[in-house]
Amino acid sequence: MNLLLFAPDEVGEAGRIAVRDARAAHLLGVLHAAPGDRFQAGLLDGPVGEVEVLGVDAAAGGVSLRFEPRGASLAPWYDLVLALTRPRSLRRIFFQSAAMGVRTIYLVGAEKVEKSYFRMHLLREEEYRPILIDGLMQGKTTRVPRVCLVRRLRELWDLLPDEGVRLIANPADGGGAALADAPGAPIIAIGPDGGWTEAENAAFAAHGFAPISLGPRPLRTDTAAIALPAVVGDRLSRQ
């Protein structure tokens, strides 16, 4: 937990916050918070800054704090289109994508995606939101990623923003795709473990997605969902 995060409606008069949950346990048990201590903190979808510890009630597991905003959070910088994957893998991808700065995660159906996946508990906002927030606390940012369920691939295209270079992971291809210095957040598409079908690949191509390779070794979806944004971010910041 590199950044403590609070909901804006937890903040009372003069920036005061009282917590008695996992964050309080972390403050007391891991950070050994004492009055006067300061920690990096932020408000969900709001500024980053610091909290000062005003008081601790170790017996009751409560901590009272004062939040002081300092500036804007780093903004999310990419969108992820992900063929819906199994819960264990998806849980990891939610956390790690939020930490890496994803803006929107489009979870799409595909020929090789089990239809039943769309019924998993993890797709309920109350299930995935805490995982996304854990990821933000890791990556020290505040903007909660948006999750968008798209059961049929053909429903995806109208949902995507107009701006941003579009890239699709392709283990086979050469990967020479130069990244156009386009405005907007790049949109990165990652297929199911068995890959997209030819028709699906053609649909991505028709909608402007250029193939990008991570080398000759096939990666599991949850590995590619880290490796590809890392490579794209690195290429963009070096252009």
* 18 interacts with a copy of itself by CB under 8 A: no
Contact 137, 2 (CB under 8 A): yes
Of the two residues 20 and 70, which places its CB atom closer to a copy of itself in the complex?
70
Options 61-69, 111-119, 146-154, 217-225: segment touching a copy of itself (CB under 8 A): 217-225
Contact 73, 107 (CB under 8 A): no
Contact with a copy of itself (CB under 8 A) among 71, 152, 217, 239: 217
Site for a copy of itself in 153-192 (CB under 8 A): 175
Length, in residues, of the chain: 239
Distance CA 175, CA 181 (A): 17
Distance CA 188, CA 232 (A): 9
For residue 238, the minimal CB distance to a copy of itself (Å) is 8
Of the two residues 110 and 137, which places its CB atom closer to a copy of itself in the complex?
137
| Nearest CA-CA partner of 195 in 211, 216, 228, 171 | 171
Which residues form the interface with a copy of itself (CB under 8 A)?
2, 74, 96, 99-101, 138-141, 175, 214-220, 223, 226-228, 230-231, 233-235, 237
